[in-house]
Amino acid sequence: MNALATTAVVMIAMRDAGPDDCEQIWHWNFAPDVRARSKRSEAVGFAEHARWFERRIVDGREPIWIIEAQGTPVGVVRLDVVGSGQWRISIALAAEWRGNGIGRSAVAAVCRACACPIVAEIFADNLASRACFEACGFRSIVERDGLLTYQWDPED
């Protein structure tokens, strides 16, 4: 998949993540408020993250994009393979860039580019994320232990 671009209240661009993005992605993904809303809540040290990130970039099968607003990196979105022809989406934005449509624009751009079924796992009490994904056409399909699984299907 190639770099993506779309608009929001703030114009965004998305580019493929590269080796120089490793540390910034670690900061976004392991910020305490992001971890509190993640299925995997434990912290990961930078060295472990760097090994994972390097393997992921070298492998190249599961895309990671950097979201930029006004020329500034503000977040990360990635797709993980979860089954035959199905992906799981994850997104993390810098706190100061949340709430202005950037996440919604990034998620919508990834859905358009992928054009295949995508799931998202969101805690039931994470109303902002739920609203973002619902606005992008995701629908809740399963709830277990307070975790909702949403699905987007290009056929819908």
Is the pTM for the entire model greater than 0.85? yes
For residue 66, the surrounding DSSP H or E stretch is strand 64-69
Residue 24 falls within a domain, yes or no? yes
The amino acid sitting at 60 is G
Residue 152 falls within a domain, yes or no? no
Least Cα distance to 118 among 103, 139, 101, 99 occurs for 139
| Residue 13: CB atoms within 10 Å | 18
Given a cut of 90, whether residue 35 has pLDDT beyond it is no
4 contacts 113 by C-beta, under 8 angstroms: yes
Instruction: Give the tokens for residue 25.
Output: 């992605």
The CATH number of whichever domain residue 54 belongs to comes to: 3.40.630.30
Residue 33 falls within a domain, yes or no? yes
- Sole residue written with tokens 């056409």: 137
Q: In this predicted structure, which of 2-11, 61-70, 89-98 has the lowest mean pLDDT?
A: 2-11
Residue 141 falls within a domain, yes or no? no
Residue 139 falls within a domain, yes or no? no
Contacts of 134 (CB under 8 A, 6+ apart): 150
- Residue 18 domain boundaries: 4-115
Given a cut of 50, whether residue 8 has pLDDT beyond it is no
Tens digits of residue pLDDT in 113-138: 998 999 999 999 999 999 999 999 99
Q: Is 137 left (phi over 0), alpha (psi -120 to 50) or beta?
A: left
Number of structural domains in the chain: 1
> Starting from the edge strand earliest in sequence, which strands make up the sheet with 64-69, in order?
4-6, 12-16, 64-69, 72-83, 86-93, 118-123, 147-152, 139-144
Residue 126 falls within a domain, yes or no? no
Helix axes 22-29, 46-59, angle to 10 degrees: 120
Distance CA 123, CA 106 (A): 20
Residue 95 falls within a domain, yes or no? yes
Given a cut of 80, whether residue 142 has pLDDT beyond it is yes
Residue 121 falls within a domain, yes or no? no
Tens digits of residue pLDDT in 85-116: 889 999 999 999 998 999 999 999 999 999 89
